[in-house]
Amino acid sequence: MKIMVIAAHPNLNNSRANKALARELKDHTNISFRNLYQDYPNWNIDVEREQQLLLQYERIVFQFPFYWYSCPPLLKKWFDDVLTFGWAFGPEGRNLEGKEFMVATTTGGTKKQYRSGGYNWFTISELLRPIQSTLTRCNGTYLPAFTIYNANEGTDEYLMQEAKKYVEHIQNPMRLLVY
């Protein structure tokens, strides 16, 4: 399965967790890694290029730090610019039909803080619903997210272990992810 990881971290080189995830992907020939903030430092997204790239992959993973209960602003702009009416959704917008989508996110909060009634009141899954709704509206299949909790406080060993789980998660067949 060909997988494209689209990383959206405003400062990937200074992120211990997201950098660990990216590093772990290097040795996998079926996974292409892209850094949106590196590709588009002026935020001028090449929509046609992005749409053509989406067509080349069976699974697309959006990797980003979770802040203010959403994704970084360049990824939101990417969604707005690339997933257009008539191409990604609407009567003629069937280009992403059959594509699998996944979110991989890191958060400084603990898993306990992301639960019903916890510090953040909701689970990560609940908070990712707008992204899930966007991707399913585009005729894609939304797969369970991968989350690294407590990323700020995690040791290097913890982040390495999580990165290995990440690579396994994003390569798992859909039948193993959906239960």
Please write the tens of the pLDDT for every residue from 96-133. Answer: 999 999 999 988 776 776 788 878 687 888 889 999 99
In this prediction the pTM is: 0.94
pLDDT value at 87 more than 90: yes
Sequence spans of domains, the chain: 3-177
Structural tokens at position 15: 């992120």
Q: What is the DSSP string of 71-114?
A: --HHHHHHHHHHS-BTTTBSTT--TTTT-EEEEEEE-SS-GGGS
Angle between helices 73-82 and 47-55 (to 10 degrees): 80
**Which CATH superfamily, name and number, covers 3-177?**
Flavodoxin domain (3.40.50.360)
Could you tell me what percent of the chain has a pLDDT over 90? 61
Tens-digit pLDDT profile for residues 140-153: 999 999 998 878 87
Which residues make Cβ contacts (< 8 Å) with residue 41, sequence separation at least 6?
none
Cα angle 87, 90, 96; round to 5: 45
d(CA 179, CA 174): 9
d(CA 88, CA 118): 36
